[in-house]
């Protein structure tokens, strides 16, 4: 699966000072990239009421919010448990479409899509 890191996710990780948590975040990203399908990602649950939005519980106090479509996993947010559910209350506020060019490879065809930033 292809991995994409959002700007918000990168900013969230810069705020985390605990090296143990940062190592776990790296492990989750590697695991997601190596997973052939969503079911192979541990501690993954769908966000209720929102299709294609999931959360990964990787520590007893931290959560990662992701968006999945076809073979693309976009990491949107990472925060502690309280902050995650408070700040990730409406995942549709996040643009699941990347702001730069992406090439999605499929077994049958190659799709090239270009998106622009939202105003």
Question: CB-based contacts of 116: which residues, under 8 Å, 6+ apart?
Answer: 99
Output the pLDDT for position 63: 93
Kindly list the structural domains of the chain, giving each domain's residue range(s) and its CATH number in brackets, ordered by start. 2-94 (3.30.2310.20)
Q: Of 61, 64, 54, give the one whose Cα is nearest residue 30.
A: 64
Instruction: Give me the pLDDT at residue 91, please.
Output: 53
Q: How far apart are CA 32 and CA 24, in angstroms?
A: 12
pTM reported for the whole predicted model: 0.72
State pLDDT tens for residues 63-94.
999 998 888 888 988 998 888 877 776 555 55
- Give the C-alpha separation, 54 to 14, whole Å: 22
Q: What's the chain's length in residues?
A: 119
Which segments of the chain have a pLDDT < 50?
96, 98-119
């Amino acid at each position: 699966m292809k991995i994409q890191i959002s700007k918000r996710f990168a900013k969230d990780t810069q705020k985390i000072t605990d090296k143990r948590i940062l190592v776990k975040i790296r492990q989750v990203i590697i695991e997601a990239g190596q997973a052939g399908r969503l079911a192979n990602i541990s501690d993954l649950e769908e966000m209720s009421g929102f299709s294609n939005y999931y959360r990964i519980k990787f520590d007893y106090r931290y959560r990662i919010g992701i968006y999945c479509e076809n073979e693309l996993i976009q990491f949107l947010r990472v925060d502690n448990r309280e902050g995650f559910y408070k700040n990730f209350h409406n995942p549709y506020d996040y643009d699941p479409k990347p702001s730069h060019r992406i090439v999605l490879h499929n077994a049958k065809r190659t799709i090239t899509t270009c998106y622009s930033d939202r105003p």
